[in-house]
Amino acid sequence: MLVQSRLRGSVFCSSSRSFATTARRTNLPVVPLWINGQASTSSSGGSVTHKHPKSARETCEVIVAGEDETNQAILDSKRAFEDWRNVNGWERKGILQNVVQLLKDRKDTFTEALKADASFADIVIGGDQMSASHLVEGAANTAISVEGSIPQTKDDSFSMVLRQPYGPVLSIPAFNYPLTLALRSIAYPLACGNTVLLRASPLLPQFFGLLAPLFEDAGLPKGVLQTLNLSEKDAPARVEQLIAHRDVKMVNFTGSVRLGKILAAKCGEHLKPSVMELGGKSIAIVLPNADLKLAANNILFGAFFNSGQVCMSTEQVLVHSDIAAEFEEILKQTAEEAQWGEGMEMVRPDSGIGARAMYDDAVKGGAKPLYSASPSSTSSTTTSFPPTILTSLSPKTTLYREESFAPLLSLHTFDNIDKIIEYANSHSTGLSTSIFSQDFQESLELAKKLESGAVHVNGMTIHDQHNLPHGGWKNSGWGRFNGIGAIESFTQTKNIRFAKEAMLPIGAMYKGL
């Protein structure tokens, strides 16, 4: 099935490459801007060439937004909001349900674009597509769940509390679980009646270029979703332009703590509300009565899925000393039985170099390798690193303090639960935690004490579904996605009060002073 696009000289196709070659300075596919329902292949910002991070091969030419195009997108988003805010929840639900169906129809197109942009394993792509469909289905239900209230009043007046959308929302999703995170950044604001200005990931331009046409074909009105590609050198100025603009009403960011702090500071400067879903250094706790084989299996999957490139990836294991030696042996044996290849590919250029630097710093600080898919840990490239487990990690090392976003896992031993809690809560982040124990009362009491947005008992740290609030504590951010959490994040309250008519004693206001 061919779906005509507004891109001059090209078509979107559900079974082939998304962007056809056009007559430009290169013979590469062209990824346009998407502003007010139009694919634009000209811009004051010019264009950049994307290279595949592993092969360094040029894959596409990306049209990037300049100051003028950014202002135009904001203006069109504001105009579209005036109508979209009044579209009822059932209509918004229907559009989002159409998105789910189109996702299934265009699954191969999204897969092809993703692989053209970067390196992703098939298990990651498949899981991402299932997760994304589940999430958009949930967002469709959220659209008909936005409700207000009628509180009681002491003066017999009638008050209603409405929940209303903010307006144009700047959404900046992460790249690592691309379809889920991109659609989450779009679908929940739309479900709540906002319009969206999508900042496309520069790491996945062809993939992100598919999103706005997908929503328009699902019935979304023009201008409700805009896609802006930004060049690396101009991105800080364009993002600041967006945040500072009076018509951009809030910011929705998923990414690293470092970038989150920069964006949060800008939001504070311009008094813009925000949702920040930032990184973590997720912990798995293994207690004496745990099923050790289950714990090893779930911890390894949670640590090395998508090469460790998940904000909820398991990065640290806190083991009770009573079972530490036995668990280390089971963990090592389970890893060896997995028979992983030597290097796991990552998306960002030079990510393998960063993982190598963290590993070398850890070993220099006294850490000991318990397991590595490469015996010498020398098989890393600029974009890959072997799955590795370390013990005896020093608090002075970078890996001890910072999220690796790589296939690196460390083990730490403690002789009582109080010390485990103290260590877990000493970290500045708190997104997701696991507890492995057969004592559910003990697990519940421990979970209550952990400073984490989610705690999973006998399950891995990576988990999300549309009816459970998702977000972090501490430096892992604020605001929530999914269900009620999304409604609270992407709408604001308005109190409308009908006073009980009464004449007020205006003449008595200053008597007796």
For the chain, the structural domain boundaries read 30-278+480-493, 282-457
Task: Considering the candidates 311, 315, 328, 345, report the single residue annotated as catalytic.
Answer: 311
Ramachandran sector of residue 143 (left: φ over 0; alpha: ψ -120 to 50; beta: rest) = alpha
3-state secondary structure of 262: helix
Residue-level pLDDT at 72: 97
What is each CA distance from 139 to 35, 89, 218, 390, 458, in whole angstroms? 24, 11, 14, 40, 28
- Residues pairing with 384 in the sheet: 345
Q: Which amino acid is it at 509?
A: M
3-state secondary structure of 251: strand
Mean pLDDT across the stretch 50-58? 94
At residue 235, does pLDDT exceed 60? yes
Task: Considering the candidates 61, 69, 112, 277, report the single residue annotated as catalytic.
Answer: 277
Mean pLDDT across the stretch 261-265? 98
Residue-level pLDDT at 26: 60
Rounded Cα–Cα distance for residues 22 and 205 (Å): 16
At residue 501, does pLDDT exceed 90? no
Confidence of residue 60 (pLDDT cuts 50, 70, 90): very high
Residue-level pLDDT at 455: 98
Residue-level pLDDT at 341: 80
Residue-level pLDDT at 506: 87
Q: pLDDT tens, 100-133?
A: 999 999 999 999 999 999 999 999 999 999 999 9
Residue-level pLDDT at 25: 54
Q: For 30-278+480-493, give the CATH class.
A: alpha beta
Mean pLDDT across the stretch 197-218? 97
Mean pLDDT across the stretch 150-164? 95
Q: pLDDT tens, 425-470?
A: 999 999 999 999 999 999 999 999 999 999 999 999 999 988 999 9
Confidence of residue 343 (pLDDT cuts 50, 70, 90): confident
pTM for this entry: 0.91
Mean pLDDT across the stretch 285-295? 98
Told to judge if 267 belongs to the known catalytic residues of this protein, a careful annotator would answer no
Told to judge if 232 belongs to the known catalytic residues of this protein, a careful annotator would answer no
Comparing C-alpha atoms, which of 184, 405, 345 is closest to residue 277?
Answer: 184
Q: How is domain 282-457 classified at the architecture level of CATH?
A: 3-Layer(aba) Sandwich (3.40)
Q: pLDDT tens, 465-496?
A: 889 999 999 999 999 999 999 999 999 999 99
Could you tell me which residue, 18 or 102, shows the higher pLDDT?
A: 102
Confidence of residue 8 (pLDDT cuts 50, 70, 90): very low
Residue-level pLDDT at 509: 81
Q: Over the chain, what is the mean pLDDT?
A: 92
